[in-house]
Chains A and B, each alone.
Chain A
């Protein structure tokens, strides 16, 4: 892959007890690009995504070997500040999961946890984050209302704003549109296009057209292995591996 790698894995293996869920995955995530991970259910996409900010640490009986670096630092090195790592590598999940609090509190939560107390600074972060998440205009007059009153698509953009509020470098998205209608999905896709200017985005999606539309690079995974990773146009026009070809043309099974 061309471009600067912001995250890379070398011979990464992961086991859930006996289950060898990631098998010798070596890949480089280019900076300020959108990388999509595709592959059939259970192939390890979410597992790989969770490796990048060490979310798998929270799961019992997980064993990891190999190397993952973020900005050239080995993320499993002793003394790594995991809280800081997750601040720099934020995550947006499949189902929007706002806290049952106001819109303002949802977005200001992260910065406050990280020690920002000044009201003006918080106001500014909230507005900027909501603007970045293309939600500001829709919520600016109801910022103190409960986040649960927002539509699903708005809630998902709120979750993105919440992630942006702590100033990440990388945003991980695990099927961020699967619970959304086409219009809300289009808004998230437009947003991803803009986020690319300042952030690195890694998105897992089951929707191949979506991967093709939003990403610069695509990785195809199958049974725990990274089969192929390359420029999105190349993967969708003429993949190198027959497995990839079969998957994206729906000849699988």
Chain B
């Protein structure tokens, strides 16, 4: 019984990692598509929306089944609790990828303003946080998430700077308003994705140590 359960739990965790990486790629590709004004790549991100939703439903269902059938306790329970949160966070990250991909199609016709400002750099940092959160979940390595609070602060600072830079451009030349507003929105989505990485991190901490933490 216990052995069957632990095998299933291991598979569940592996596939949750795969789903998280899938969501992370949607986000990464959407920003790449934005920067390169690659409408085809943006289209492929939008097309992945259905797939990630199916994974979400399927994996969540498996969590509930394991709870119903085995009433897991202690770390087993904490793994499942954390897995449910990882699934939700990954879905959200993937969905922000789709939202950004839609923006690409709206603003691809005209050249970028100021090379999309700090968006590529911000995206790189956010994707690194997501990667570390996923690896921490996969391999029980909480040391990877130890500095998340500081990294999250950096992300917030970048969002503010993009906001201020956008305002400056818009005041100088109202024709940039549409594009700059979109950049500001993208920065906002990226910041939300970093928050989701933090949520994963908080839950990995709970999974591994039983301790509840809050990353601001």
Contact = CB atoms under 8 A, between A and B. Distances in A.
A189 to B, nearest CB: 15
A236 B2 contact: no
Contacts of B75: 245, 249
A238 B78 CA distance: 8
Interface string B69-84: 0011111111000000
B71 A209 contact: yes
Interface in B40-88: 71-78
B73 A208 contact: yes
B132 to A, nearest CB: 24
B1 A250 contact: yes
28 contacts: A208-B73, A209-B71, A212-B73, A236-B73, A236-B74, A236-B77, A237-B73, A237-B74, A237-B77, A237-B78, A237-B210, A238-B74, A238-B78, A238-B209, A238-B210, A239-B74, A245-B75, A248-B74, A249-B2, A249-B73, A249-B74, A249-B75, A249-B76, A250-B2, A250-B3, A250-B5, A250-B6, A251-B2
A237 B207 CA distance: 10
B81 to A, nearest CB: 10
Contacts of B3: 250
Interface string A239-253: 100001100111100
Interface residues of B, number: 15
A213 B2 CA distance: 20
Interface residues of A, number: 13
Contacts of A251: 2, 6
Contacts of B209: 238
A215 to B, nearest CB: 13
Query: Which 9 A/B pairs are nearest by Cβ-Cβ distance?
Result: A250-B2, A238-B210, A249-B76, A236-B73, A248-B73, A245-B74, A248-B74, A249-B74, A209-B71
Nearest to B2: A250
Contacts of B78: 237-238
A249 B71 CA distance: 10
A209 B73 CA distance: 9
A248 B210 CA distance: 15
A203 to B, nearest CB: 18
Given A238-B209, A239-B74, A244-B74, 12 more contacts: A208-B73, A212-B73, A236-B77, A237-B210, A238-B74, A238-B210, A249-B73, A249-B74, A250-B3, A250-B5, A250-B6, A251-B6
A34 B121 CA distance: 58
Nearest to A211: B73
Nearest to A208: B73
A250 B2 CA distance: 5
Nearest to A238: B210
Contacts of A238: 74, 78, 209-210
Nearest to A247: B74
Contacts of A236: 73-74, 77
A249 B2 CA distance: 7
Interface in B5-30: 5-6
A46 B76 CA distance: 28
